[in-house]
Amino acid sequence: MRVRFKISLTVSILIVVGVLVLFFYLHINSVSNKAAEEIAGKLFNSASEKIEQRALTLIDQSFQTVYLVAGLDDINIDAENVLTSSTLRTIFRLLEKNRELYSIYFGYEDSRFVQVICADKDPSILKPHMAPDETMWILRMIDVLGGGERIQEWVFLNNDLTVLSTRLDKNPEYDPRLRPWYIKAKQENRAVLSNVYRYNSLKQLGITASEKKQYSEGIAGVDLTLRKLESMISSIKISEHSQVLLLNDQFQVIDKSGVPRKNQNSFHTFLSGLDEGKTFELRKVQFENVDYYVKVSDVFKHGSSLKILVLAPLSDFNTYFINIKNRLTYTTLIWIVFFIPIIYLLSKHMTNRLSIIASEADKIRDLIFEREERSPSPILEFYLLEKNFDAMRHSLLEKTQALKISQSKLNRLVELGISFSAERDAEKLMEKILLGAKELTNADGGTLYQLDGNALKFKITQNTSLNIAYGGSQKGDIPCKPIPLYLEGEENHQSVVAHSIWEKRSILIKDIYDDPEFDFASTKIFDQDNNYRSRSFLIIPLIPRGADPIGALQLINCRDNNGNVTEFSEELLRAVEALGAQAATIFHNLKLLEEQETLMDSMIQFIAGAIDAKSPYTGGHCKRVPELAIMMAEEASHCAEGAFADFAFTTEDEWREFSIGAWLHDCGKVITPEYVVDKATKLETIFNRIHEIRTRFEVLLRDAEVDYYKGLLAGGDKDELKVKLDVRKADLIEKFAFVAECNMGSEFLSDEKIDRLKSIGNEEWIRNFDIRLGLAHEEELLFQDCDMPPVVEKLLADKAYHILKRKKEEVKQQYSDLDFKTPMPEHLYNRGEFYNLSVRRGTLTEEERFKVSEHIMQTIAMLEKMPFPAKLARVPEYAGTHHETMTGSGYPRKLDASQLSIPSRIMAVADIFEALTASDRPYKKAKTLSEAIKILHSFKNSQHIDPDVFDLFLTSGIYRKYAAQFLLPEQIDDVDISQYLG
């Protein structure tokens, strides 16, 4: 007969009683801990706030005092006259008013020092300073004598400021400039507070407040000792065994009196481990196997580094509650001992059955599903529990086996997805997709198709049983014709693969020989020729997310664990679809990435070519510089020792990043006006303005001829007038020839020539036409202040309309945060005639030289704004540093060797050498190989370029290799590189 569980439950009441007693015990324990913690928290907070308020008051007094002292006049360091100083008297009054302060002093940049100490007849101050017993004030002065000798004088005064004694020390070690209070105040423009440190003279701990003097070069300081604060701390008592300590920011005890005399080392170790120097509210910690309450608070003001630690053992607060718990424990133990035999006898049966079930549950937890033999329980509820437990065991066994299989496939699916994501080769990726799908489904064969126009092209096909493998790592053409998507202009639904593409869905076929829907004629011929039997098929379209199909995957003949051909299950279909979705997206993204990179490279080369084509003087420069730079980078990457031992581009991304930087190194030239780049004469803008000046000479010559004929009409002597005309004509022709010669930039223009140019320019001619006619709207603004004709004009003039203003706010915004150091001229352009003709060397004015240099600033500005991916993040650096030098004299950022990477140094050499040897620049003759290397060597000697890169350029033979490809035959001559190395 089975007994109901409610009958046996009555005997379990005793257990419930015990549980309730335990609950009350734990509850009292929790309440007692919270009460003790609350009491301790209130006491700790009160003590911390009291000390903190006192500390803040002392620190505020120090700051107020140092602010007053910083505004005082300097004290003359002269023992005879110093006592008459009003500043010294003021300091005495400040120290008398603020007894907590130890001293006030001034330190100066020449190491002079003046300190006033309030001794107050205190032996602890008198003894370290060797002062007389009646000393009230100590005056310490350090002066610098001729020759740099330093002398320190101590003056000891009584309460009436009478000198008791003095002492002199030569060359004292103390230097105020090296003290932390001096250094910190010098760096800040405000009053600062030092960390707690030991005073140099007093050998006691204290804090210094310091600030720059307001009316002289020096630092004022105020010392505050911690003795009174320590005295106050020692008087505070929270509980019987509590301690209040003052700490620095390293959690070191400032007040040693509070440290236990025993176990001092372990106490300091305990303090240093308290949360690594951070403040915290009340918490419980353990020291020497005793529980303590601890609280650390900050005296946080003016940069103070003081901390207040309050410490008390837990036993000071919870003794009463412990007594209550002990009584409860003793009572509970008596009851438990009394009821143990009864509880044991009544619960024995139930615990035995539960133990058996618990043991079996442990086995199931470990995936052991074996059942132990047991007799049925007489308790109905236990009997039903065991019966259901056995049913659950059987169900879990089946589910676990299925789960293991699914988990294995899922793990493999994840591994394959990770493998696909890491692959960057399209052919290898396709092979991995097919092999992964075969492995996942245990298929005997498979084919991967790629959509190519209107046909599905066989990319990879494999059959394990027939040992057939085409495509992928197996080189050679696949002996299969593509599958067309259209037949006679209609969609091809006869082919199962084409049908899958058109319908964008997966297809399962149990046996192709029983399938009436699709045409498998070619497959059956294959079977007949190879003695093979194709049966089950699985076809999925490869469709990237949000895109059209890019191909299809076909699997043949799924095999079970015994090697027998079976059909593909719906579960396998879902797994292959998941695999195909990942693979299609990854393959599609890979192709897109390749296409984008190809497009980006083409656009970059297109831009570089357009820049070269902009000016016939720089044709091919943007193409040749990358070629040379990559040659040098490859050679540097191969160096296993020397300056390039640690340099190498190891990935395709790094090479591409450098190549793009090289191609774009002059992209900023897109904004450089062509006439500035091509300026061959000084007056050239869009046209050569020498013709305007020549026309004025023509006018003067015509005026001379008119004067000649007027003289004849007036009856003048013909011969005399003719001589005058010839002399004037010859003078004008010679002067114009001189002006035209100054217009050329081939020779240096001396002061004498500039003076003569100015003299010629002062000649006058009469303008009879309005210069403002026929102008565009913007030009009219430039000429609005011109005088109406007729007006006398200078032969050469610098006019207001020659000045083109710079929009500085736009330039500032354009180059903000780019740290350019190239000086910017005031004007955008100055086209003044005399201003341009007076250029001493070359043809460019200061404004035009900046405009040429600005191309690299534009290069950096444009590239910095481009959203390059992380793998191309250094493109702006590689493109924008080829005009920097090793000494920091380059532009636009004046970077030095420590700031220039090896690729940047390579770019500089490549840019210079290409410019020297370029033969497509009509304004200059191309240098020969030896001439170019000689010039590069001079740049090496002046630290304009990196010597190691220059030596590598020669020793590697790159200069010869480049010359063979890009230089004219007549430029290539013999070079003895030995004279340039080292």
The answer to whether residues 433 and 448 touch, using CB atoms and an 8 Å cutoff, is yes
Which residues make beta-bridge pairs with 156?
138, 165
Give the per-residue pLDDT at 922. Answer: 52
- Residue 966 reports pLDDT greater than 50: yes
Mean pLDDT for 99-113 is: 89
Give the per-residue pLDDT at 5. Answer: 42
- Residue 873 reports pLDDT greater than 50: yes
Q: How confident is the model at residue 860 (pLDDT cuts 50, 70, 90)?
A: confident
The answer to whether residues 17 and 268 touch, using CB atoms and an 8 Å cutoff, is no
Side-chain half-sphere of 680: how many Cα atoms within 13 Å?
9
Letter for the amino acid at 875? Answer: V
Q: How many whole angstroms separate alpha carbon 925 and alpha carbon 922?
A: 7
Give the per-residue pLDDT at 960. Answer: 93
Q: How many whole angstroms separate alpha carbon 448 and alpha carbon 499?
A: 15
Share above pLDDT 70 across residues of the chain, in percent, rounded to a whole number = 80
Q: Render 501-556 in DSSP notation, one character per residue.
A: HHHTS-EEES-GGG--SS--HHHHHHHHHHT-----EEEEEE--TTS---EEEEEE
- Residue 866 reports pLDDT greater than 80: yes
- Residue 455 reports pLDDT greater than 70: yes
| Out of 536-540, 547-551, 869-873, least confident range | 547-551
- Residue 921 reports pLDDT greater than 70: no
Q: How many whole angstroms separate alpha carbon 205 and alpha carbon 411?
A: 66
**pTM attached to this predicted model:** 0.50
- Residue 905 reports pLDDT greater than 90: yes
Whose CA is closest to 336, among 754, 740, 788, 14?
14
The answer to whether residues 455 and 435 touch, using CB atoms and an 8 Å cutoff, is no
Q: How many whole angstroms separate alpha carbon 622 and alpha carbon 879?
A: 11
- Residue 820 reports pLDDT greater than 90: no
Give the per-residue pLDDT at 384. Answer: 72
- Residue 106 reports pLDDT greater than 90: yes
**The token pair that represents 891 in the structure block:** 């532009």
Letter for the amino acid at 231? Answer: S
**The token pair that represents 97 in the structure block:** 């008013």
- Residue 370 reports pLDDT greater than 90: no
Q: How many whole angstroms separate alpha carbon 219 and alpha carbon 66?
A: 10
Q: How confident is the model at residue 592 (pLDDT cuts 50, 70, 90)?
A: confident
Mean pLDDT for 948-971 is: 91
Give the per-residue pLDDT at 898. Answer: 93
The H-assigned helical ranges of 77-200 are 86-97, 123-129, 180-187
Letter for the amino acid at 368? Answer: I
Q: How many whole angstroms separate alpha carbon 557 and alpha carbon 568?
A: 8
Give the per-residue pLDDT at 805. Answer: 86
CA distances from 903 to 609, 628, 648, 864, 906 (A): 22, 12, 10, 18, 5
Mean pLDDT for 67-90 is: 81
- Residue 576 reports pLDDT greater than 60: yes
**The token pair that represents 446 in the structure block:** 């498979």
- Residue 481 reports pLDDT greater than 70: yes
Whose CA is closest to 670, among 457, 464, 858?
858
Give the per-residue pLDDT at 100. Answer: 80
**The token pair that represents 447 in the structure block:** 């084919």
- Residue 469 reports pLDDT greater than 70: yes
Per-residue pLDDT tens digits for 760-779: 989 999 988 888 888 888 78
Mean pLDDT for 258-266 is: 57
CA 399 to the chain's CA centroid: 51
Give the per-residue pLDDT at 556. Answer: 92
Mean pLDDT for 423-446 is: 79
Q: How confident is the model at residue 474 (pLDDT cuts 50, 70, 90)?
A: low
Q: How confident is the model at residue 475 (pLDDT cuts 50, 70, 90)?
A: low
The C-alpha torsion from 400 through 405 and 407 to 409, rounded to 10°, is: -170
- Residue 650 reports pLDDT greater than 80: yes
Give the per-residue pLDDT at 413. Answer: 61
Pairing of strands 218-225, 192-193: unpaired
Give the per-residue pLDDT at 6. Answer: 44
Letter for the amino acid at 283? Answer: R
- Residue 82 reports pLDDT greater than 80: no
**The token pair that represents 754 in the structure block:** 């500039």
Mean predicted lDDT score pLDDT of the chain: 81
Q: How confident is the model at residue 961 (pLDDT cuts 50, 70, 90)?
A: very high
- Residue 793 reports pLDDT greater than 60: yes
More confident residue, 293 or 414: 293
Per-residue pLDDT tens digits for 652-678: 889 888 888 888 887 777 777 777 777
Share above pLDDT 90 across residues of the chain, in percent, rounded to a whole number = 21
- Residue 277 reports pLDDT greater than 70: no
- Residue 274 reports pLDDT greater than 70: no
- Residue 315 reports pLDDT greater than 70: yes
| Out of 9-13, 139-143, 288-292, 881-885, least confident range | 9-13
Sign of the Cα torsion 526, 527, 531, 537 reads positive
Per-residue pLDDT tens digits for 231-253: 667 767 777 677 777 776 666 67
Q: How many whole angstroms separate alpha carbon 7 and alpha carbon 301?
A: 72
Contacts of 788 (CB under 8 A, 6+ apart): 770
- Residue 729 reports pLDDT greater than 90: yes
- Residue 11 reports pLDDT greater than 60: no
Per-residue pLDDT tens digits for 118-163: 988 888 888 888 999 999 999 999 998 888 889 999 999 998 888 9
Q: How many whole angstroms separate alpha carbon 808 and alpha carbon 124?
A: 67
Number of other CB atoms surrounding residue 27 within 10 Å: 10
Q: How many whole angstroms separate alpha carbon 350 and alpha carbon 336?
A: 19
Give the per-residue pLDDT at 679. Answer: 79
Give the per-residue pLDDT at 713. Answer: 92
The answer to whether residues 182 and 210 touch, using CB atoms and an 8 Å cutoff, is yes
CA 555-556-560 angle, to 5 degrees, is 105
Whose CA is closest to 536, among 563, 554, 561?
554
- Residue 736 reports pLDDT greater than 90: yes
More confident residue, 160 or 424: 160
**The token pair that represents 203 in the structure block:** 């050998």
The answer to whether residues 47 and 238 touch, using CB atoms and an 8 Å cutoff, is yes
- Residue 420 reports pLDDT greater than 70: no
- Residue 270 reports pLDDT greater than 80: no
- Residue 625 reports pLDDT greater than 60: yes
- Residue 318 reports pLDDT greater than 60: yes
More confident residue, 917 or 9: 917
Give the per-residue pLDDT at 710. Answer: 92
Give the per-residue pLDDT at 478. Answer: 65
Whose CA is closest to 66, among 91, 33, 29?
91
Give the per-residue pLDDT at 470. Answer: 75
Which residues make beta-bridge pairs with 139?
116, 155
CA 754-758-762 angle, to 5 degrees, is 170
Mean pLDDT for 6-22 is: 60
